[in-house]
Amino acid sequence: MKKITSIIAVCFALGAVAQTTTDSITLDPQKQLNSAQRILSGNYGSAVTVGAYGEMLYNQEEGNNGELDVQRLVLLLGYRFNDKTQFFTEIEFEHVEEVFIEQAFVNYSVANNTNLRGGLMLIPMGIINEYHEPTTFNGVERPAMDNVIVPTTWRELGVGISGKINSASLGYQAYIFNGFRSTSSDGAGGLTGVLKGSNGLRSGRQKGIQSTVDSPTLSTKLEYYGLPGLRLGLSGYFGDTQAEDDIEQLDGANIGISMVGLDARYAYQRFTARGQFIHASLSGTAAYNTATGNDLGSAMQGYYVEGAYNLLPTTNEQKLFLFTRYEQYDTHNKTAGALVRNDAFNKTDITSGLSYHIAPGVVLKADYQFKDDARSGDSRDNQLNFGIGVWF
């Protein structure tokens, strides 16, 4: 506990030297920056730059007691070694008691709008995995498909390149990462499965924690920003899961993953909209399920569409968005071998609520979620949510 307190004290002491400004927090998708982009572009002549974001939430399923949680507090630190070389890291405290390193990478500018990066980085898939700061999205909770199919926050160790081609209004990213872990040894010569139908790929994240590397995976993203207020993204992730030496030759130890994503964000005056589609094709799941006894699907798919309208005049600094998001996601979109599709994994969420931006970097949120799945009857409980989010 003393070590954690010391880290916090040092971070806030450094914040007195250099701190990111809030003017880069904008709802215009063409100008929007995530935490890493703000820190790397916000040195303002100082070597050390400090920021933070956090969320405090209240969730109550219908008919049950509510839960209060400091879901996350993330400290952002950047250091500029020289005009070309920078370091960025996120230190995340989850639920008050858990500590993770969410990002930690070196960024080297080889030319204007071209950067080499290496370290623990976010996989550029969809919207939320890269733009998950609480003031950048509507809804108290992140979209559910970005929990199980794109397992936000999805980060791994790797190297790659990022940049922009402004003449074509294109941004690009391409990285080589280590992949998901799918299995571990059961201690008796067999396999224990990590991945399953109920939470998709989420449990396979290695997060840079003594990660096993068997074969590299490729992650890419292209973004188009040539039309006013519009930002379009095309993402891809391809490779095999990773297994340790003593089990990697066993049948079913690894599976192949090919994931593609399309996303769009738009803003015009008081109106904003966004949408996302993700499809993941998994090979080798029949052998994997036979070896582990799990129920992993051979394909996962999901999408959502969302519209929001600012109820306050555009001249106001404060913004009050009324929004609705429709979301459908299925971790048993397809199954292989003897596995039968489970309708409980084919889910629909409708989320409606308010996002009240009382100042740049501070948002109050409230929403209600109508939840259903493909089973007959009222099979999932609806949920009421409240939240406070900050980012500076």
- At 84-120, the pLDDT tens digits run 999 999 999 999 999 999 999 999 999 999 999 999 9
Judge whether residue 254 has pLDDT over 80. yes
Q: What is the pLDDT of residues 17-48, one digit of tens each?
A: 455 544 445 778 988 899 999 999 876 556 89
Q: Which of 23 and 357 is assigned the larger pLDDT?
A: 357
Mean pLDDT, to the nearest integer, of 39-62?
88
Mean pLDDT, to the nearest integer, of 226-235?
97
Judge whether residue 129 has pLDDT over 90. yes
| CA-based radius of gyration for the chain | 21
Mean pLDDT, to the nearest integer, of 132-151?
96
**Range of lowest pLDDT (26-35, 279-288, 353-362):** 26-35
Judge whether residue 6 has pLDDT over 60. no
- pLDDT at position 19 is 54
Amino acid occupying residue 312: L
Judge whether residue 223 has pLDDT over 80. yes
Mean pLDDT, to the nearest integer, of 272-293?
97
- Cα 295 to Cα 314: distance, rounded to the nearest angstrom: 50
Judge whether residue 197 has pLDDT over 90. yes
**Residues in CB range of 210: below 8 A, 6 or more apart:** none
Q: In which band, very low, low, confident or very high, does the pLDDT at 333 lie, cut at 50, 70 and 90?
A: very high
Domains plus CATH for the chain?
2-391 (2.40.160.10)
Judge whether residue 351 has pLDDT over 60. yes
- pLDDT at position 10 is 45
Judge whether residue 378 has pLDDT over 80. no
Q: In which band, very low, low, confident or very high, does the pLDDT at 377 lie, cut at 50, 70 and 90?
A: confident
Write down the pTM of the prediction. Answer: 0.92
Tokens of 70: 């400091």
Mean pLDDT, to the nearest integer, of 265-289?
97
Judge whether residue 7 has pLDDT over 50. no
Judge whether residue 63 has pLDDT over 80. yes
- pLDDT at position 45 is 59
- Distance (Å) of CA 6 to CA 1, 52, 84, 183: 9, 16, 30, 37
Amino acid occupying residue 26: T
**Range of lowest pLDDT (172-176, 186-190, 330-334, 338-342):** 186-190
Judge whether residue 139 has pLDDT over 70. yes
Q: Which of 244 and 19 is assigned the larger pLDDT?
A: 244
